[in-house]
Amino acid sequence: MDQTTAHYLRLTAALNTPVQIHEPIPVTIGGLSDILFCTQRNVKFILRRLEEKRLIDWQPGRGRGHTSELTFLRSIEEVLESNLQELIAAGRIRQGIELIGLPEVSGPLKERLLALLNKQMGYHSEEESTSGLDILRITRNRHNEKLDPAFVYRAFEAYLIGQLCSTLVSYDTVHDVFLPGLAHMWEANKDCTSYMFYLRKGVRFHHGRVMTARDVKETVQRLIDIQSSALWHLRDLKQVEVLGDHRIRFDLHRPNHFFLHLLSSVDMSIIPYDLDFQTEPCGTGPYRLLKMNEDVMVLAAFDDYYGIRPLLDRVEIWYLPPYENISERMYQLPGCEPAYAPGDETNTSMDYSALGCRYIIANFHKPGKHHSPLLRETLGLLYHPVALIRELGGNRATPASSFLPWMSRSRQWKEPLLSDAQALLEQSGYQGEELILAYPLRKEDHEEAEWLHKRADQIGLKLRLLPYTDFDEAWIRKESDLLIAEEVLEDDWQWGLLNYLVNESNFLHACLLEEQRGMLHELVKDATTLPAPERIALLEHTESVMRDNRWLLYGCHMNKTALLSQSLFGVHTGPFGFLDISKVWIKSSFPEASSGEKRTLPAPHA
């Protein structure tokens, strides 16, 4: 924000709340000097600048002791919107984001400025040069991700790593098959205790070196050495043998029918052995990391990508403060109406069902009444999926009794009465103890927390709401009794569900006691040795243990929405439902023929 705008805001705050436009206000130079914290001489200079920008009208008093008159000519909203446009046009995006975070900006104004920010950013084409760049700018309301496959936690982290890195194979969710990746072919022995992979030749990392089998082996060794959260999946690994630059073999202690699922996961993204990935993220993916700081992450298309080069030359991801009213992903382009006006005809939205669901989990590390199964059952009636969808709606699509939507659909649903919850609460021995419900600082979570608080209050259950911005295991265990969360599973849902059960970097691990986690691990310890039908049955049974013990209280499955410009083509959802930026391109308007010129297309060949 420039100094002139800052002076304007200070004056409006001190002289005119709420601001009345075109109404003269009696003032003195001495009074303005106190407001602006400057000398009377500088006050006159500031007033002149405000007049030049047509923000105020100034009528000095005539003679000593006479008051002057100051009139505001523009509203705070107009001034801030204009200032934001100027900042974005000048490429000062960080300052624009800071402006949106000002105390003077709240409610509808914040939404308008956020929409304006997305509109002014969006797609930019440097058409004036023969080598013009196509750039997509995206906003995101969460700061820097941890871009390390060894400790990936959030869905967006996994998505970004998938743009920077590649895996030996990939999973095709539509046809339920594995496809070549960095390996163009693979084979396994009869009992699935040994797997051989044949690597593509000439695949380059972003720093220029050609990938070899050594990189694959060192990637696996790194996961072991730094105690990756994916370590459980490597417990059957006996040895990794490099057989030249383009062949590598994995030998296992016992049969593993699940091994390709592991090798297609983001945890097994192949990285170069000669770089420290945590300080220099580098892979073989369609995009390379150009810049990353607390304000922005910039991805640039990798010209030497072994697959099809992205059509977007650069993607900029600008981080916003964690505003509660942001819930939709924006991929806006200039010329579109605000992202928060979904009915606008220049925009379109892409809806897709996400695997996984929203839920509440009890924190068993903290003593309290939430250890009572009857009280958790009471909470389950209050946080009932049917009531949740009926009263809050939005992107809440269908009731959940499982992370898997098809399992939830097999259940017959009936909404309970609040009196049922009241009766259970009385049976639980509840004596008015306060329970702390933690929730992420996002729109859906805030809505649900407030909704549940209101319903609990109606039956005499005391909840205190506690918002948080980042996952912190120690904080969660110390402060919360209950936690609202959402789990989005990978497209490879078997991998996603198994990984959720055994991963040590998620809410389940943070909230369950060691004996509870041990029970789950014991159930799935042989899952990878089983054929698919038996493995699926085992995963479903293990989830039922969490459900029947009410360690988790399921909420609803979500329909995700991405707001898009109609100029975006090649729109596909990638992992976790995010827009696949490696396939997106922007179609410019069809050029009109000049006057008198006819534009024809050649006839197709027979």
- CATH number for position 424: 3.10.105.10
- pLDDT attached to residue 344: 44
Say what the pLDDT of residue 327 is.
43
The β-bridge relationship of strands 329-331 and 556-565 is parallel
CA distance 403 to 487: 8
State residue 342's pLDDT score.
40
Q: Which amino acid is at 128?
A: E
Higher-scoring residue by pLDDT: 154, 561 = 154
Which single residue is written with the structure tokens 């042989």? 526
Strands (E), 363-411: 396-399
Q: Across 52-66, 197-211, 500-514, which has the greatest mean pLDDT?
A: 197-211
Number of domains in the chain: 3
Query: H/E/C letters for each residue in 488-534?
Result: ECCCCHHHHHHHHHHCCCCHHHHHCCHHHHHHHHHHHCCHHHCCHHH
So what's the pLDDT on residue 14? Answer: 85
Burial class (CB in 10 A: 0-12, 13-18, 19+), 595: exposed
| 78 falls within a domain | yes
Residue 193, domain CATH: 3.90.76.10
Q: Domain check: are 365 and 503 in the same one?
A: yes
Q: For residue 405, how many other CB atoms are within 10 A of its CB?
A: 19
Range with the lowest mean pLDDT among 20-29, 127-136, 197-206, 447-456? 127-136
Of the three residues 268, 297, 315, the one that is the final residue of a domain is 268
- The answer to whether 481 and 370 are in contact (CB under 8 A) is yes
pLDDT at 126: 54
Q: In the structure, what pLDDT confidence band is assigned to residue 336 with cuts at 50, 70 and 90?
A: very low
The answer on pLDDT for 34 being more than 70 is yes
Last residue within a domain, chosen from 558, 581, 596 = 558
Say what the pLDDT of residue 155 is: 82
Mean pLDDT throughout 517-537? 96
Q: Are residues 99 and 176 in the same domain?
A: no
Percentage, residues of the chain above pLDDT 90: 56
Q: Is the pLDDT of residue 357 over 60?
A: yes
**Does residue 338 carry a pLDDT above 50?**
no
Measured CA to CA, the distance from residue 33 to residue 542 in angstroms comes to 70
Report the range of poorest mean pLDDT among 135-139, 310-314, 477-481: 135-139
Question: Do 429 and 524 fall into the same domain?
Answer: yes
Residue 303: strand, helix, or coil = coil
**Beta bridge pairs of residue 137:** 316
φ, ψ at 300 (rounded to 5°): -120, 140
Claim to verify: residue 198 and residue 72 sit in the same structural domain: no
User: Domain for residue 588, yes or no?
Assistant: no
Residue 178 located in a structural domain: yes
Number of H helices, E strands in the chain: 19, 25
For 182, the domain range is 166-268
What mean pLDDT comes out for the span 221-248? 95
As a whole number, mean pLDDT of residues 15-31 equals: 81
Q: How many C-beta atoms lie closer than 10 Å to residue 235's C-beta?
A: 12
- Cβ atoms within 10 Å of 335's Cβ, excluding its own: 13
Percent of the chain with pLDDT over 70: 83
My answer on whether 423 and 501 are in the same domain is yes
pLDDT greater at residue 575 or residue 361:
361
The separation between CA 112 and the C-alpha centre of its own chain, rounded to angstroms, equals: 21
Cα gap 30→36, rounded to integer Å:
10
- pLDDT of 340: 40
Which token pair is 132?
């013009």
Q: Is the pLDDT of residue 39 over 50?
A: yes
Domain match, 106 and 179 both: no
pLDDT for 354 equals 74
User: In this predicted structure, what is the pLDDT of residue 91?
Assistant: 73
Q: What is the pLDDT of residue 210?
A: 98
Q: What is the mean pLDDT of residues 590-606?
A: 48
Residue 200 pLDDT? 98
- Please state, in angstroms and rounded to a whole number, the distance separating the CA atoms of residues 565 and 333: 6
User: For residue 515, with 0-12 CB atoms within 10 Å meaning exposed, 13-18 middle and 19 or more buried, which class applies?
Assistant: exposed
196 vs 81, higher pLDDT: 196
Final residue before a domain boundary, out of 246, 268, 290: 268
What would the pLDDT profile of 80-126 be if each residue is shown by its tens digit?
Answer: 888 888 887 777 888 888 888 777 777 778 878 887 777 666 555 55
Separation of CA 337 from chain center: 23
502: nearest Cα among 233, 226, 157, 258: 233
Average pLDDT over residues 352-357: 79
Give me the half-sphere count of Cα atoms (radius 13 Å) on the Cβ side of residue 370: 26
Average pLDDT over residues 477-484: 96
Indicate whether 27 and 90 sit together in one domain.
yes
Q: Is residue 131 part of a domain?
A: no
* 324 in any annotated domain: no
Q: Please, which pLDDT band fits residue 6 given cuts at 50, 70 and 90?
A: confident
**Quick one: pLDDT at residue 86?**
84
Helix (H), strand (E) at residue 94: helix 93-100
Q: What are phi and psi of 48, to 5 degrees?
A: -65, -40
What is the structure's pLDDT at 84?
A: 86
Same domain, 415 and 533: yes
Same domain flag for 376 and 470: yes
- Does residue 484 fall inside a structural domain? yes
- What integer is the mean pLDDT of 410-421? 95
Residues 112/77, Cβ–Cβ less than 8 Å: yes
Q: Please report whether residue 50 resides in a domain.
A: yes
Check whether residue 408 and residue 261 sit in a common domain: no
Average pLDDT value for the chain: 85
pLDDT band (50, 70, 90) for residue 589: low
CA proximity to 27, closest of 54, 5, 59: 59
Pair 113, 173 in one domain: no
Question: Average pLDDT of 149-172?
Answer: 91
Quick one: pLDDT at residue 241? 98
What's the rounded mean pLDDT across residues 157-182? 94
Residue 374 has pLDDT above 80, yes or no: yes
pLDDT at 421 over 80: yes
Q: Is the pLDDT reported for residue 298 higher than 80?
A: yes
Tell me what pLDDT residue 106 has.
73
The per-residue pLDDT for range 44-85, each reduced to its tens digit, is: 999 999 999 899 999 988 766 678 899 999 888 888 888 888
Q: Is the pLDDT of residue 278 over 60?
A: yes
Whole-number pLDDT of residue 375: 98
Q: How far is CA 470 from CA 84, 294, 319, in A?
A: 28, 15, 14
Q: Which residue in 374, 194, 197, 215 sits closest to 284, CA to CA?
A: 215
Residue 360 and residue 251 share a domain:
no
Would you say residue 594 lies in a domain? no
